[in-house]
Structure 1
Amino acid sequence: MNTSEPSSDAGQITVTHTRGGRVATVLIDRPRKLNALTLELLDALYCELRTIDHSDAQIVLITTAGEKSFCVGADIAQFSRFSPAQMWRRWIREGHRVFNYLAQLRQPTIAVVDGIAVGGGFELALACDLRIGASTARLGLPETGLGTTPGWGGTERLTQIVGAARAKEIIFARRQVPSDTALDWGLLNAVSERSMLADTVTELIDRILEGAPTAVQVSKQLVDAAAAGAPSTVLEALGSGFTTGTDDFTAGVAAFSNKTTPTFTGS
Structure 2
Amino acid sequence: MTESDVRDGTVSCEVDGRGVATVLIDRPSKLNAITFEMVGELAAILARLRDSPARVVVIRTAGNRAFSVGADIGQFSTYAAEDMWRHWIAEGHRVFRELSELHQPTVAVIDGIAVGGGLELALACDFRIASDDARFGLPENGIGTIPGWGGTARLTALVGYAHACELVLARRRIDARTAHEWGLVTSSHPTVSLDTAVAEITDDLLGGAALAQQTSKQLLRLAANGADAAVLEALASGFTANAPDFREGVTAFLEKRTPQFSHPTSSPSEA
1:5-32 superposed Cα distances (whole Å, 9 cap, x missing partner): xx996211111112x2410000000000
Aligned-residue Cα RMSD (Å) equals 1.3
- SS of 1:57's equivalent in the other structure is coil
The corresponding residue for 1:217 is 214
| Paired residues of 2:6 and 2:75 also in contact (CA < 8 A) | no
Match for residue 11 of structure 1 among 9, 28, 46 = 9
Match for residue 208 of structure 1 among 205, 210, 215 = 205
The corresponding residue for 2:68 is 71
- SS of 2:67's equivalent in the other structure is strand
The one-letter code sitting in structure 1 at the alignment partner of 2:230 is T
* TM-score relative to the length of structure 2: 0.94
| Paired residues of 2:219 and 2:232 also in contact (CA < 8 A) | yes
Percent identical across equivalent pairs?
Answer: 53
* TM-score relative to the length of structure 1: 0.95
The corresponding residue for 1:58 is 55
In structure 1, what is the Cα distance between the partners aligned to 2:83 and 2:151?
A: 20
| Paired residues of 1:9 and 1:32 also in contact (CA < 8 A) | no
By relative contact order (CA 8 Å, sep 6+), the higher-ranking structure is 2
Match for residue 33 of structure 2 among 18, 33, 36 = 36
The corresponding residue for 2:128 is 131
How far did 1:266 drift? 3.9
- SS of 1:152's equivalent in the other structure is coil
The one-letter code sitting in structure 2 at the alignment partner of 1:33 is K
Match for residue 227 of structure 1 among 218, 221, 224 = 224
Q: Is 2:209 aligned against 1:239?
A: no
- Structure 1 residues 150 and 8, CA gap change in structure 2 (3 angstroms): closer
Aligned residues: 260
Runs of 5+ in structure 2 lacking a partner? 265-271
In structure 2, what is the Cα distance between the partners aligned to 1:89 and 1:211?
A: 40
| Paired residues of 2:7 and 2:37 also in contact (CA < 8 A) | no
In structure 1, what is the Cα distance between the partners aligned to 2:47 and 2:195?
A: 26
Q: Is 2:96 aligned against 1:99?
A: yes
Q: Which runs of 4+ in 1 moved over 3 A?
A: none
The one-letter code sitting in structure 1 at the alignment partner of 2:37 is E
